[in-house]
């Protein structure tokens, strides 16, 4: 029987973290439960600020492919596993269970960095059989999470895309993306890049509790402005829309995005796969107990009576009266502010196949 050193249920909210607990993943063979035994709490075993631990992952490949009809790209690269942003609602949390770690606090404190990602990708796109298609960064975990400031793995990938004129789509909720404008701007002149910045709420207090280590909402909108001014196609993803908590902000977010220079606005309904549903319920009870039952009731109304709906076609936007109302509201706000529904189609004909031995020069 193997016990995780950071496992167990810490109970309550940890400062600077999104998950209220660290439950076992669905593949674990043991279950632990905190009990009150009358002794003072062990502060070292239950830290108020769990540290971030980074492991270098010796990946053999970094390019992933999928056939989901819900997404506008077929290839992606994820420089990191886990995400320090700590968004409690993150649909990627369950992926940590495959590593024998918790989708709770482990997901935001036990991180894995693919330091050789650019070299691996260079080898993959150098293959004579490789067919150029846009590659997305940020489909699972955020490539511009705080760890990127030090590790610069995403930067190394952008260097490779710049060198080879390879199209790339970026999804992030961190203003750190501005750092790479020196590469993104010249790529934009060739139609090689599009950036989507996710904005969940304009309320700083709520954002800090929902996504504690992501950039503040106004800072994300400032990143939209700076990218737009540099000529980089940029849009906003209103995501996730959370019933009774953030759904009233759909129109203000789209208006603010348009004023900042966004060219499109997309949206995604809250998704609660696997362990995320229990983490999110506990977060609701901790932070907004009077709204908790209302939020989950509306979620189920939009998810066919369940907490989550994984089906293609409905998993991103839900179904039913309230989902249809959200769609109409988003469409109306887009029309009022002259925004499109999604990013532009990226150029694939300019791709120059790299040599496997080449090295980027702009780290």
Average pLDDT over the chain reads 89
Say if residue 361's pLDDT is above 50: no
Say yes or no to pLDDT of 270 above 80: yes
Q: What is the pLDDT of residue 4?
A: 34
For the chain, percent of residues with pLDDT exceeding 70: 86
Arithmetic mean of pLDDT, 189-204 = 98
Choice among 9-23, 95-109, 312-326 with the minimum mean pLDDT: 9-23
Q: Distance between CA 276 and CA 23 in Å, rounded? A: 10
**Closest C-alpha to 52, from 145, 174, 152, 138:** 145
The answer, yes or no, to whether residue 74 has pLDDT greater than 90, is: no
Q: For residue 17, what pLDDT band results from cuts at 50, 70 and 90?
A: confident
- At 2 the pLDDT is 29
Per-residue pLDDT reduced to its tens digit, 163-173: 999 999 999 99
Dihedral pair phi/psi, residue 286, rounded to 5°: -80, -45
Count of CB atoms situated within 10 Å of the CB of 351: 18
List the beta bridge partners of residue 194: 169
Residue 344: per-residue pLDDT? 96
Confidence band (pLDDT; 50, 70, 90) for 24?
A: low
State pLDDT tens for residues 110-164. 999 999 999 999 999 999 999 999 999 988 899 999 999 999 999 999 999 999 9
Banded pLDDT at 28 (limits 50, 70, 90) = low
**pLDDT higher than 80, residue 254:** yes
pLDDT-based confidence at residue 40 (cuts at 50, 70, 90): low
pLDDT at 18: 77
Q: Which domains are assigned to the chain?
A: 56-337 (3.80.30.30)
Q: Mean pLDDT throughout 188-208?
A: 98
pLDDT interval class at 358 (50, 70, 90): low
- pLDDT band at residue 71, thresholds of 50, 70 and 90? low
pLDDT tens sequence across 298-336? 999 999 999 999 988 888 899 999 999 999 999 999 999
Give me the mean pLDDT over the 233-256 stretch: 98
Locus of tokens 């934009």: 188
pLDDT at 43 over 60: no
* Cβ 79 vs Cβ 148: under 8 Å: yes
Three-state SS letters, the chain: CCCCCCCCCCCCCCCCCCCCCCCCCCCCCCCCCCCCCCCCCCCCCCCCCCCCEEEECCCCCCEEECCCCCCCCCEEECCEECCCCCCCCCCCHHHHHHHCCCCCHHHHHEEEECCCHHHHHHHHHHCCCCCCCCEEECCCCCCCCCCHHHHCHHHHHHHHHHHHCCCEEEEECCHHHHHHHHHHHHHHCCCCEEEEEEECCCCHHHHHHHCCCCCCHHHHHHHHHHHHHCCCCEEEEEEEECCCCCHHHHHHHHHHHHHHCCCEEEEEECCCCCCHHHHHHHHHHHHCCCCHHHHHHHHHHHCCCCCCCCCCCCCCCCCCHHHHHHHHHHHHHHHHHCCECCCCCCCCCCCCCCCCCCCCCCC
- Inform me whether the pLDDT recorded for 176 exceeds 60: yes
* Confidence check: pLDDT of 5 > 90: no
- Which tens digits make up the pLDDT trace of 277-292? 999 999 999 999 999 9
> pLDDT at residue 98 above 90?
no
The Cα 80–Cα 145 span in angstroms is 9
Nearest to 187 by CA among 347, 5, 358, 38: 347
Dig out the tokens for 256 from the structure.
Answer: 């603010």
Look at 204 and 32; give whichever has higher pLDDT: 204
């Amino acid at each position: 029987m193997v016990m995780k050193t950071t496992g167990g249920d810490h109970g309550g909210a940890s400062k600077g973290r999104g998950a209220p607990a660290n439950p076992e993943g669905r593949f674990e063979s043991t279950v632990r439960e905190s009990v009150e035994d009358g002794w003072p709490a062990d502060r070292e075993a239950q830290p108020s600020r769990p540290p971030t631990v980074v492991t270098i992952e010796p990946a053999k490949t970094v390019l992933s492919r999928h056939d989901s009809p819900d997404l506008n790209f077929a290839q992606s690269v994820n420089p990191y596993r886990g995400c320090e942003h700590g968004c409690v609602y993150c649909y990627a949390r369950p992926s940590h269970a495959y590593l024998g770690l918790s989708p709770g606090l482990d997901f935001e404190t036990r991180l894995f960095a693919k330091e050789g990602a650019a070299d691996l990708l260079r080898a993959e796109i150098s293959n004579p059989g490789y067919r150029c298609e846009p590659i997305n960064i940020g489909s699972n975990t955020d490539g511009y999470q705080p760890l990127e400031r030090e590790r610069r793995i995403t930067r190394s990938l952008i260097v490779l895309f710049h060198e080879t004129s390879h199209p790339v789509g970026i999804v992030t909720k961190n203003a750190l993306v501005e750092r790479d404008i020196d590469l993104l701007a010249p790529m934009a002149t060739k139609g090689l890049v599009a950036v989507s910045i996710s904005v969940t709420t304009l309320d700083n207090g709520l954002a800090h509790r929902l996504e504690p280590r992501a950039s503040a909402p106004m800072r994300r909108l400032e990143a939209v402005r700076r990218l737009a001014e540099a000529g980089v196609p940029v849009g906003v993803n209103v995501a996730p829309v959370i019933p009774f908590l953030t759904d009233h902000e759909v129109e203000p977010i789209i208006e603010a995005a348009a004023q900042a220079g966004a060219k499109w606005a997309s949206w995604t309904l809250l998704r609660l796969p696997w362990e995320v549903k229990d983490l999110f319920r506990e977060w609701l009870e901790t932070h907004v107990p009077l709204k908790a039952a209302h939020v989950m009731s509306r979620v189920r109304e939009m998810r066919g009576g369940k907490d989550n709906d994984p089906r293609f076609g409905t998993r991103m936007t839900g179904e039913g009266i309230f989902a249809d109302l959200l769609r109409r509201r988003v469409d109306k706000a887009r029309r009022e502010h002259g925004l499109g529904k999604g990013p532009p189609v990226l150029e694939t004909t300019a791709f120059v196949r790299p040599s496997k031995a080449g090295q980027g020069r702009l780290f």
